[in-house]
Amino acid sequence: MTLFVDILVCILIWFVGTALFSFMNVIRYRYIEKKKIFNEDFTCDSCGTELKPLEAFPVFSYLFLKGKCRYCGEKLSLYDFVNELIGGFVLVFVFLRFGDGCGISSGFILSEPIDSIVHFNLENFAYVVTAILFVCLLDLVVMVDHKTMEIPNIFVISTLVVSVLSLITMRDVGIIEHLIGALVISVPMFVITLIVKGGFGGGDVKLSFAAGLMLGWKLAIVGFFIGLLLGGLYAIIKLSTKKIDKKAHFAFGPYLCIGYMMALICGANMLWGYLKLAAILHG
């Protein structure tokens, strides 16, 4: 019975995650198309036909409609579908990671879903909401930067606001560590940008300042190097397949955001694992 309840809780949280990330898809589309974020009907991107609630249902509407609009037959966005699908799992991980009060600097130990609800309180709620807002904003940056090659200031400012909020809701990390986190990556990136033409974009620097304030200096470093690794792998794959040349630029922001998301959820474990491996290698 307990296992059934745990599974049911995870499914419900997954649905909430798909809905949140579906809304991020809407914000991304309407921002790029310069439409109003709110007070707009849900319509097909191709023919503009107003969609019924079930036709705009996250994940399952894509599956039921077989990836095509029922009115014009145009293909629906696979990118949006994948983002909603992944978003559901991200929210499950965030809830199970922080729902029972584990702090950002603690190890990644998934709690029992039902235990997370039983021990849920206002402090845990504030912690989880802050983490959810953070990953949702990073998801927005991933999609917009991938599409437009720029990180809008409004998303950076919103991330900064959430990071300032984290100084109140995530008190397991000292404020000095948070403040150093804002500078430890952003300042070197800014210097590199001044020295090397096209080294990093201004949006990447500002985003690292905002995200670093949220994560603290240790996890900010972890997140940056994850992003650097992912971006490097992407560049190597593209170069090897000759889809880009050596002088081409690509958006680094998406990989940076993925790195910061991973640092939030399991960065402490990655850091401990690296330190243990370094200790073993050095005897």
Is residue 273 within 8 A of residue 115, CB to CB? The reply is no
Distance, CA of 219 to CA of 51 (rounded, Å): 42
Give the pLDDT of residue 160. 96
Residue 241 counted as domain residue: yes
Closest residue by Cα to residue 203 from 262, 138, 263, 265 = 138
Percentage of residues of the chain with pLDDT beyond 90:
41
| Whole-number average pLDDT of the chain | 86
**Average pLDDT of the residues in 158-173:** 90
More confident residue, 31 or 281: 31
Residue 199 counted as domain residue: yes
Q: pTM of the prediction?
A: 0.89
Secondary structure of 210-229 in the HEC alphabet?
Answer: HHHHHHCHHHHHHHHHHHHH
Residue 76 counted as domain residue: no
Is residue 263 within 8 A of residue 212, CB to CB? The reply is no
The residue range of the domain holding 201 is 147-283
As for how many domains the chain has, the answer is 1
Is residue 36 within 8 A of residue 26, CB to CB? The reply is no
* pLDDT tens-digit series, residues 222-271: 999 999 999 989 888 877 876 666 566 678 899 999 999 999 988 888 88
Is 80 exceeded by the pLDDT of residue 218? yes
Residue 228 counted as domain residue: yes
Is residue 207 within 8 A of residue 159, CB to CB? The reply is yes
50 DSSP β-pair partners: 43
Give the pLDDT of residue 238. 77
Residue 151 counted as domain residue: yes
**Average pLDDT of the residues in 62-81:** 87
Give the pLDDT of residue 247. 60
Is 80 exceeded by the pLDDT of residue 75? yes
Is residue 232 within 8 A of residue 71, CB to CB? The reply is no
Residue 280 counted as domain residue: yes
Residue 122 counted as domain residue: no
Residue 56 counted as domain residue: no
